[in-house]
A and B are shown apart, each in its own frame.
Chain A
């Protein structure tokens, strides 16, 4: 624990040691102002530090300084067994908990060759799409709040409470559910689930219309977002940008259609794209994505098959508690799985899914032991944040706030 006197951040005292190659020459002469948009700021959506070089109000260079939320998840997961490490995966991108669980479980299932029953796959799709809607609602609420539309924030969080109630009904927890486990789900959904989801599906589309009526044709919103932060297709690919930011630049690439997982090939939905590539285009793409998610949940709920929700492979999936009183093998499997953990074969896999922010991937390498030997999370916000200096050049400081909102970064994703 360092004391306050010894510790200084770079550029905190006004000197440029170690960073002179990043700012323009005018900064070294003292012509421009160096401003610190610090880690605690109402509009940075978390702990992001931006070092700005300003000429009046115009941004000349913007240097992001991340790492204030670095949690050491990758190293900590190496010290826990696979099931116990899954608990940490929810807390990375904390607006997309079930999506993180899903990609981790898909990686384990690919590594071990586990099968997942069809009912579990359909329920996974329903919950992940509901999670996508709730993540986009938080994005919309905070983005609009930064652009001074406060009532949209309150409306979005009202809808989000309904989705969180559904998650609580299913798993007992509002946010960090850890509901999706390798081999299926933790337990079956209760009977009220279908009724609650159908109620939500009926009420939600007109709510999206409400938000659009507040923002889409609003001249203030249009002036602040149209033409801001234009990113061409080539730039987006060069900078590794995926997700709605890439789709707003015209390229229709969605991992749910390109490399389908968990039964997405049976559902029929469109990929919303836009050609402008500016902030307004990304807003339109994400609003349309919410509507497509409703369509997917509707189809999945209509086609929901009956059956088990967990795989039968007892080497990896614990047996149900009802079997423990009758079968000796079930007790032995239960004991082995909860003390030592399961041991996948030696190998390495990569699985990528479409999170609300872009391509979320897990690279998992196993050496035959009960703990992951190396796990790396390819998080979309880490890559999307890299484009911020390029987009912010020449814009005003107030536009910077809109750009951070449109990139839809979650600092837990960036810093892991």
Chain B
């Protein structure tokens, strides 16, 4: 199901980092532990010409704690016209991972967003601050145990009782 060119790149990486491969609908993802991810990215960038970091995001599998998060990384090679994915499993409620900023500088804002939304710390990052939420916000919104913040809609049958609760601005 995978492209032969992609297969020829996935196999040596699989051997070298003893990673599992997850395939779905002609896309390949390598599951790599956090200690080896920077080295794997460096190998892919220098030897196999994957120059572009397309995305670095995370998935939360709460209430399962081992692993709780999977960091999903996607790299694109413009020379070979291929795309390859990687997943890094992280455990626990305060996970941390080495930063990819030295390999791909544009991981800077991706990792800031992951810190803001998930609370994943990146060791060695130059500027780990909140990026999307206000700088004094508490909590990490995209975690599954953070509430959505759903407010009850005001229909005509409960118009008055919500009117009393809702904060309206005075002059």
Contact = CB atoms under 8 A, between A and B. Distances in A.
Q: Do chains A and B touch in the complex (CB under 8 A)?
A: yes
Nearest to A66: B131
Nearest to B113: A382
Contact of A383 (B83, B106, B148): B106
- The SS class assigned to the B binding surface is loop
Nearest to A387: B106
Given A361-B55, A415-B132, A350 B141 contact: no
Contacts of A173: none
Nearest to B137: A67
A70 B25 contact: no
A34 B58 CA distance: 35
A349 B24 contact: yes
Nearest to B107: A240
A22 B167 CA distance: 38
A70 B133 contact: yes
A113 B52 CA distance: 28
A37 to B, nearest CB: 18
B137 to A, nearest CB: 10
Interface in B59-113: 59-60, 72, 74, 78, 81, 83, 85, 104-106, 108-109
B129 interface: yes
A189 B52 CA distance: 39
A67 B132 contact: yes
A240 B109 CA distance: 11
Contacts of A26: none
A18 B129 contact: yes
A238 B105 contact: yes
A237 interface: yes
Contacts of A253: 78
Interface residues of A, number: 45
Given A22-B127, A238-B105, A251 B78 contact: yes
B142 A365 contact: no
30 contacts: A18-B129, A18-B135, A22-B127, A66-B131, A66-B132, A79-B150, A237-B51, A238-B106, A240-B53, A240-B104, A241-B106, A251-B78, A348-B24, A348-B72, A349-B25, A350-B83, A352-B83, A359-B54, A361-B54, A361-B55, A363-B74, A374-B59, A376-B55, A376-B57, A378-B57, A378-B74, A383-B109, A386-B106, A386-B108, A386-B109
Interface of B: 24-25, 27, 29, 51-55, 57, 59-60, 72, 74, 78, 81, 83, 85, 104-106, 108-109, 126-127, 129-135, 141-142, 146, 148-150, 167
| Nearest 9 pairs of A and B residues by beta carbon | A240-B106, A67-B132, A376-B57, A378-B55, A347-B24, A70-B132, A374-B59, A237-B51, A239-B106
